[in-house]
Amino acid sequence: MSGVGGAGSCLLALAKKLVIDESRFSPMPISPLLKPLSKQEQQPLSGFRVLDLSGPMGVYCGKLMADMGADVIKVEPPGGDPLRRVGPFLDQEPVRTESSLHWLHFNTNKRSITLDIRTSDGGAILKRLARASDVLLESYPPGFMASLDLGHESLEAENPGLIYAAITPFGLTGPHKDFKASDLVGLAMGGYLYVTGWPHTPPTRLWGSQAYHTSSNRAYIAILLALYHRLATGLGQHIDVSMQEAVAATTEHVNTAYNYDGVPAVRCGFRHGGQFIATWACKDGYASITTNTQQAWDDLRDWMRQDGMAGDLMNAQYDDRFILRGEHSRHIEELIQEWALTHTRQEITDWGQARHHPWGPVVTEGEILENPQLWDRGFFVEREEEGSGISLVYPGAPYKFSESSWQLRHTAPDPGQHNREVYCEELGFTVSDLEALAGTGTI
């Protein structure tokens, strides 16, 4: 539910009074650094409160903080966040805001309130929430929050310890700051798209929203650093994350090679840019073979020789593995590809791993879900969705802590599921107050 009930536009004056006359309400409890939790419940970010107003570029950042113990309050517009309508859906039909698998994955462990921050009442309520929060995360266009008097300067004046993190396509300054961008544009203008795909085809987009997720990861790291800095100084700060810069920082050798050699990178298709790593079609799919050491190259040639498929690769001119980068690379690849098609992914993996080489299968989504290594380590968590009777498998965290760990405390919330909890129990509003605010469209 996005509110508590309709009361009509005649309650607008009452709603405004609720915000202005703050003496009526108890102050929102300040988020302590350490909450009184048991050792089992304690997580690295337990006790920190985060206001998550972000869209696609920041939703993963909020999840990362929530999954590690932070009290992340997802601030949604009345009616629910548009991300709830992003598929795929549980029943293949976007008939319920609760059925988006995208939403269910990226909003675990968050609480949800509905609030229209564009109204004067909504803005005043957000300020009250920000006074007792540690982090505010947003991904609005540059200047939007400031136009509502909700920018960093306004909120910092009332909470000097607030860490205000803004994620935008190109940053808050510069000639492109007002440019619009999607995940695809982020990959393109960050330099990643041009080097992805085959030499003879146009650039190829990576699957999933990789530019958005990269931006969220960078914001997450920056927020953790800012929290660490606050422990020493007591001061918060303004974090400006550019999606373009976040993507540009992931291009590895591409920028480095150009800066030193002046030679632009080319799309390598099935090969890694270094050309010592490649993915080959085999009997039952694809397998990755790394030949970045002399021993790995010699072992590969020897196996091909035993199979009678090495061609002329045992000749002395091919002894140096750097020949893979040279004029004979196409000839070498043709021989390896013909040979790889005679083996399965598992055979290639077992041979390489037995000789301590990083060779492995390219697995499908279904195989990931059935992977015994991931289940044995507890990476996957199975949980029944409340009210649906449907059991879903959630991926966990890619890291483990000896004293505290990732926890799926609760699944993604419904729109405004925690309105009463936050507004009444923590801000001191009454149910009648909520009805008035709902009637004016504020919540």
Q: Which domains does the chain have, with CATH numbers?
A: 9-248+405-439 (3.40.50.10540), 277-362 (3.30.1540)
Greatest C-alpha distance within the chain: 90
* Amino acid (1-letter code) at residue 426: E
The Cα 197–Cα 206 span in angstroms is 9
Read off the pTM.
Answer: 0.86
Question: Token digits for 149?
Answer: 């008097």
Which residues are CB-neighbours of 71 under 8 A, at least 6 positions away?
31, 47, 48, 49, 50, 111
Q: What is the pLDDT of residue 176?
A: 97
The Cα 5–Cα 435 span in angstroms is 5
Q: What is the pLDDT of residue 81?
A: 96
SS3 of 61, please? helix
Q: What is the pLDDT of residue 8?
A: 30
The Cα 276–Cα 319 span in angstroms is 14
| C-alpha R_g of the chain | 27
The Cα 289–Cα 339 span in angstroms is 13
Which residues are CB-neighbours of 214 under 8 A, at least 6 positions away?
243, 246, 247, 250
For 138, phi and psi rounded to 5 degrees?
-145, 160
Q: Are 433 and 423 in contact (CB under 8 A)?
A: yes
Q: What is the pLDDT of residue 199?
A: 82
CA-to-CA dists, residue 30 to 36, 121, 133, 253, 401, angstroms: 14, 21, 7, 46, 27
Dihedral over Cα of 170, 176, 180, 182: its sign: negative
* Amino acid (1-letter code) at residue 360: G
b/e per residue, 183-222, with b = 16+ CB within 10 A? Answer: bebbbbbbbbbbbebeeeeeeebeeebbbbbbbbbbbbeb
The Cα 333–Cα 50 span in angstroms is 51
One digit per residue, the tens of pLDDT, for the chain of length 443 reads: 333 333 332 223 333 344 434 544 444 544 443 345 666 678 999 999 999 999 999 999 999 999 999 999 999 999 999 999 998 888 765 555 568 999 999 999 999 999 999 999 999 999 999 999 999 999 999 999 999 999 999 999 999 999 999 999 999 999 999 999 999 999 999 988 888 887 888 888 888 899 999 999 999 999 999 999 999 999 999 999 999 999 999 887 666 665 666 666 776 766 665 556 789 999 999 999 999 899 999 999 999 999 999 999 999 989 887 766 667 888 998 999 999 999 999 999 999 999 999 999 999 988 999 999 999 999 999 988 776 678 899 998 888 888 877 899 999 999 999 999 999 999 999 999 999 999 999 99
Residues in the chain: 443
The Cα 388–Cα 414 span in angstroms is 13
Q: Are 405 and 43 in contact (CB under 8 A)?
A: yes
The secondary structure element, H or E, covering residue 380 is strand 380-384
Q: What is the pLDDT of residue 440?
A: 95
- DSSP class per residue in 159-189: -TT-EEEEEESS-SSSTTTT----HHHHHHH
